[in-house]
Amino acid sequence: MSQKKSRGGAAAGDDPDELSRSPLQAVLLADSFTLKFRPITLERPKVLLPLVNVPMIDYTLSWLETSGVEEVFVFCAAHAQQVKEHLAVAGWSGKPAAREMAVTAVESHDAISAGDALRVMYGRGVINGDFVLISGDTISNMSLKDALQEHKDRRKKDPLAVMTMIIKHSKPSTLTHQTRLGNDEIFMAIAPETKELLYYEDKTDNSHLCVAIDKDILANNPTLQLHNNMEDCYIDVCSPEVLSLFTDNFDYQHLRRHFVKGLLVDDIMGYKIYTHEIRSSYAARIDSFRSYDAVSKDIIQRWTYPMVPDVLSFGNCHEMKLHRQGIYKASDVTLSHSAHIGANSVIGSATSIGEQCKISNSVIGEGCSIGKNVLIHGSYIWDNVIIEDGCKVSNSLVCDDVHLRAGAIVEPGCILSFKIKVGKNVVVPAYSKVSLLEKPSNEDSDEELEYADTNSVVTDSPPFSSMKSNADHPTIISEDDDLGASETGTSGVLGYIWASGDTGIQDKWRQSIAPVPKEKLEELQHAIFFDDDEGSEEDLNNRPSEADRDNDSEISVVEDDDYTKFEKEVEETFQRALDGVHQDNLILEINALRLSYSLQHADCAGAVFYSIMRGALVAAQSTNDSLLKKTADALTKWKDLLRNYTKTVDEEMEILLKFEEMCQDITKEFAPLFSKILPYLYDKEVVSEDAILRWAEEKENADESDKVFVKQCDVFIQWLKEAEEEEDDEDDEEEE
């Protein structure tokens, strides 16, 4: 372990070169200090919840180890003993740990926020130089090398550069104002040359059409980039001063709303925060059940490689093998011959699956027993769960040791916490949260501070079994009682249903595992159109006039190319379709995006085609199938979606031009296959004979470098021309 330099770590005036020679350290927060994963986190810490059958914290520690971090301090608050036991069992800590990275648990039962945690770390005096600050629910495969070097280079020139935040592109939906991870959109102002963060707002009011930025920021920065298309990865490279700043400011509780915003508006000390944008790498924090679902799908689809099930192995985790269509299975799974496992599914060790079962887009844990004729879609079934014959589970999360009796139905968006028992033929209503523990009475809002799970008081709440009852003194059904129920009733469930918070059932979809309901998408889209048609005059009146604005007309805002942003959004929207979103909903979202960017139908054709081909490439890289086969499968599956955007020859031409561009630059892997994929597009009626011949004709006078793919397809193009001539001859004969 590194030697101490001072009680609080390195001082601000320490030589940056000396700091750069210090072993790279990290502080991992093993408590998110939020309540979003309740009721589950009343019994188990969030960082130990299984993510594709591996505890979240193992992904984070594995990434830190591969990134060259030599020493990690794991800060534990709620359920600290569980975290420490896991670190030992998984081989991260303890004497037998044969690893290059040292892992030490730091425990405090008094910390109720991230700010408190960092104040404790300062008091321990164990941080000796620049360090990585990360939450134990963060998944990444990025290289830290560039971000670390940028931070160190800046520190040499400016000791006031105390933090570098990792960000990535992730445009929120124009309908929901959320990213695909379920996070609310963030507004950032960044200096384009230096990448200094000038403004940060994660609590935006979407009812207004403008963002209020201090005029001093504009006056001091003639050019800045204003983003609402960036995701905060919650990975920070910090100088030791960050710890002392938290100690000096006890009102700093939240890392972003208090610390980051506090530094940005502090004109006295002059500390600065910078950003580092990652492009091709992956980084995401699991902040809600929706992001749990999205990141799980990303892992299964191998966007997080090498952080994938068949590569990672910790402690007692069993080896997983990757099969076709993104199906992962342990070697000792018992699978009936008539059972069907669909694409993008994971089946854990010692699990048995009965006859006529259908499982798709789901993760099944270890030691589960699944009976006959069970349907499971888009769900997460943890360890030792019993699901009897005829049950249906849709887009829900089922924790350890849950027992579903025959014929039970779990509707979308449900959370069944540990050891819940559901009776025969019981229907668990959509978005229900059920736990054996009663809901605490003094839950502090996630929107105020990040509080630990240890600070709550339990109060009386009605049991689930009496949800439709008006009984004055409801009682929980005991384990010995018969859990039978009517076909549509909600009695017969052992546990308490947790009432909705202030948002009510209307907004439950925002943080749910279940896809956004079609009715909600239509409602949101209607609201956009209504605002455009009816609210335009009011909006214009509310906007500041030219005379009201700052007189400095030299201020400019640099924005990304609209089509580039649109294309990225379409790709992210398409990824949700791979997760099980219905095609009709996908078209609704894409059309809304097109309208918001004022683009043409042809722009959609190119963007959708790119998303489909990109998905095929990723699928081929994750299986033993050839790229050509995966492309054919993808085009067959999504041909109707493409046809929706190729109503004219111009729109079909857009696909051909986009394909050329991809083969030349973005996805060169398709270049040798161009001549084989083009006939397939023709056969599937995605592009017509007229579009292909027109494309070839327009290339006749082009440079040789632009004729590469036309020449590659020469035989096929010649065949089309001859077929067209034969049709013309037949038409002439008929006229004669």
Based on its alpha-carbon atoms, the radius of gyration of the chain, rounded to whole angstroms, reads 28
Residue 265 in tokens: 């508006």
606 has pLDDT over 60: yes
Q: Which two tokens stand for residue 655?
A: 């696909």
Most confident segment among 234-248, 251-265, 343-357, 674-688: 343-357
CA distance 67 to 228: 29
Question: CA–CA distance from 466 to each of 202, 413, 477, 602 (Å)?
Answer: 39, 20, 10, 55
The residue that leads in pLDDT, 244 or 598, is: 244
Orientation of helix 583-597 relative to helix 518-534, angle to 10°? 20
Instruction: Give the per-residue pLDDT at 729.
Output: 56
Three-class secondary structure assignment of 472-500: CCCCCCCCCCCCCCCCCCCCCEECEECCC
Which pLDDT band, with edges at 50, 70 and 90, does 348 fall under? very high
Given strand 197-201, what is the order of strands in its sheet?
Answer: 197-201, 187-190, 223-227, 556-558
pLDDT in tens, 160-192: 888 899 988 775 555 555 566 656 668 888 888
Which tokens sit at 30? 């093993």
Predicted local distance difference test score (pLDDT) of residue 685: 86
DSSP assignment of 219-231, as one string? HH-SEEEEESSEE
Those residues whose C-beta lies under 8 Å from the C-beta of residue 397, and which sit 6 or more positions away, are 289, 292, 379, 380, 382, 414, 415, 416, 513
Given pLDDT bands bounded at 50, 70 and 90, which one contains residue 515? confident
Of 172 and 482, the structure prediction assigns the larger pLDDT to: 172
Burial (CB < 10 A; 0-12, 13-18, 19+), residue 193, is exposed
- Supply φ then ψ for residue 22, to 5 degrees: -70, 150
Lookup: tokens for 146: 């560039």
Contact 259, 247 (CB under 8 A): no
- Section 44-69 average pLDDT: 91
Over residues 258-268, the pLDDT tens digits come to: 777 777 777 66
- 122 confidence band (pLDDT: 50, 70, 90): confident
Q: By three-state DSSP, how is residue 561 classified? A: coil
pTM of the prediction?
Answer: 0.68
Strand partners of residue 132: 26, 237
pLDDT for 374 equals 95
Is residue 7's pLDDT more than 60?
A: no
